[in-house]
Amino acid sequence: MDVLDELFDVIESRKADLPEDSYTTRLFTHEKGENYVLEKLGEETTEVILAAKDDDTEELAAESADLVYHLLVLLSMKGMDLDDLRAELEARR
């Protein structure tokens, strides 16, 4: 299992258990619902772009990780998983 699989498993676990002290729980239970995660994706995308523009590779890696995390949360919200993403990427190869 790689780090993305592990992260997705944690996201799925948080979705099922909704521990109170979890940021992921807050994403799943926010009053704005899915729109909150979509806003976070937009925010993280902007931060990735700015880090790339500034040639800040350390910040680019950090913001890219944030972007991927929020994307995985959205996939989970939509009932999708990494296999769905892998299948699409493989189909494009």
- Band of residue 8 on the pLDDT scale cut at 50, 70, 90: very high
What sign has the CA pseudo-torsion 4, 6, 8, 10? negative
Q: Is the pTM of this model over 0.85?
A: yes
In the chain, where the domains are located: 3-92
pLDDT of residue 23: 97
Q: Indicate the DSSP class of residue 33.
A: T
DSSP E strand boundaries for the chain:
none
pLDDT of residue 11: 98
Of 1-5, 17-21, 76-80, the one with minimum mean pLDDT is 1-5
Question: Which residues touch 67 (CB under 8 Å, ≥6 apart)?
Answer: 41, 44, 45, 47, 48
For 17-70, how does the pLDDT look when each residue is reduced to its tens digit (9 = 90+)?
999 999 999 999 999 999 999 999 999 999 999 999 999 999 999 999 999 999
The CATH number that domain 3-92 falls under is: 1.10.287.1080
pLDDT of residue 89: 96
What sign has the CA pseudo-torsion 48, 53, 59, 61? positive
